[in-house]
Amino acid sequence: MKRILSGIQPSGALHLGNYLGMMRPAVELQQQGEALYFIADLHALTSLHDADALRRHSRDVALDFLACGLDPSRALLFRQSDIPKISLLSWILSTVTPMGLLERCHSYKDKTARGLAATHALFSYPVLMAADILIYDSDIVPVGKDQKQHLEVTRDIAVKMNETFGDIFKLPEPSIREDAAVVPGTDGAKMSKSYGNTIEIFAEEKAMRKKFMGIVTDSTPVEAPKDPESSSIYQLYRLFSSADDAAAMAERFRAGGTGYGDFKKQLFGTVWEYFAPMRAKRAELEADPGYVDGILRTGAEKANAIAEKVMARVEAAVGLR
């Protein structure tokens, strides 16, 4: 059986890009193998130094994941920091990781360019991510396209380890959905917390409507034909509707006579309805904190059992045991 693994940073409220790029595929994949999903709180520390906010976001991500369909009878859910050997493996991996490999990573350059402090942790972030993946002998890693390079780094580090110490690790494969590889934000650029162009999946109705109505459009007049493919309204709608409904909207774009405002309203209505059952589930879960704690505890126990086995192999191979 294939082992599927992914993580998400608790650095803020989840948005449509996180949901479509990572969470929805991860939930779908839990049917196809042994799934492990975790809250990457150690990674979040690279950008968030506010203890209360980190605790709150970590809890929110757990609620979001469960509300969006993570089935605890099929998939494990746990906090990264509950797996102590991650940090040990990260150190071991860093001893074979060439500086040049990390220097090539876009993420460090992008994040420091946007004002994040140029810390050692931000620079070595891909090594910690490699440890997350390799410590469970993961086969498949569902992520958005922006994480593709980190998977390549993980594979390079695994190959280096195998060359240096003998066959220790298997090489994981990313799973990237082409249709949701880069979900556009309200300004048409990649939706991202750091660009201020996000639509949060569990926003209040009024706030969510406002975000949709604020999607940036060109100045094509109401009566003129419009190109669906170049519009983020249509690109988002397509990801939440049936093929028939998407084709119908594309047709109305091309026909002219409908303004962007009407398309935005239709998109908002569809997305609001789409998340209705998940909002209800989330409210239920929020009322029962003990239940969520129990899931995280069980998840950590089972994940640790897998990690310990792999680490026994690693520690023996490198000579620590």
| Contact set with ligand TRP (CB under 6 A) | 5-9, 40, 43, 129, 132-133, 141, 143, 147, 150
Output 172 or 228, the one with its CB closest to ligand TRP.
172
Output 38 or 237, the one with its CB closest to ligand TRP.
38
- Strands of the sheet with 173-175, listed across from one edge: 75-79, 34-39, 3-8, 140-142, 173-175
CB-facing half-sphere around the CA of 129: CA atoms within 13 A: 30
The structure tokens listed for 246 are 């998407």
Output 143 or 215, the one with its CB closest to ligand ADP.
143
Whether the CB-CB separation of 38 and 89 falls below 8 Å is answered with no
Output 63 or 141, the one with its CB closest to ligand TRP.
141
Min separation Cβ 256 and ligand ADP, Å: 29
Contacting residues for 158 by C-beta, under 8 A, at least 6 apart: 130, 134, 168, 169, 170, 171, 172
Output 134 or 267, the one with its CB closest to ligand TRP.
134
Whether the CB-CB separation of 57 and 18 falls below 8 Å is answered with no
Q: Quote the DSSP letter at residue 229.
A: G
Q: Is 200 strand, coil or helix?
A: strand
3-class SS string, 247-275: HHHHHHHHHCCCCHHHHHHHHHHHHHHHC
Min separation Cβ 200 and ligand ADP, Å: 10
Determine the Cα–Cα distance for residues 162 and 156; give it in Å rounded to an integer. Answer: 10
Min separation Cβ 22 and ligand ADP, Å: 4
Min separation Cβ 233 and ligand TRP, Å: 26
Token pair 């109505």 is found at 213
193 binds, among ligand ADP, ligand TRP, none (CB under 5 to 8 A by kind): ligand ADP
Min separation Cβ 213 and ligand ADP, Å: 20
Q: Give the distance from CA 159 to its chain's centroid.
A: 25
Output 17 or 228, the one with its CB closest to ligand ADP.
17
180 binds, among ligand ADP, ligand TRP, none (CB under 5 to 8 A by kind): ligand ADP
Min separation Cβ 6 and ligand ADP, Å: 7
Q: Which residues bind ligand ADP (CB under 6 A)?
A: 8-9, 17-18, 21-22, 143-144, 146-147, 180, 182-183, 190-194
168 binds, among ligand ADP, ligand TRP, none (CB under 5 to 8 A by kind): none
182 binds, among ligand TRP, ligand ADP, none (CB under 5 to 8 A by kind): ligand ADP
Q: Give the distance from CA 216 to its chain's centroid.
A: 25
Min separation Cβ 31 and ligand TRP, Å: 19
Q: Is 37 strand, coil or helix?
A: strand
Output 133 or 158, the one with its CB closest to ligand TRP.
133
Whether the CB-CB separation of 127 and 78 falls below 8 Å is answered with no
Q: Closest CB to ligand TRP belongs to which residue? A: 7
- Count of C-beta atoms within a 10 Å radius of residue 221: 8
The structure tokens listed for 86 are 């991650």
Min separation Cβ 97 and ligand ADP, Å: 21
Output 40 or 161, the one with its CB closest to ligand TRP.
40
186 binds, among ligand ADP, ligand TRP, none (CB under 5 to 8 A by kind): none
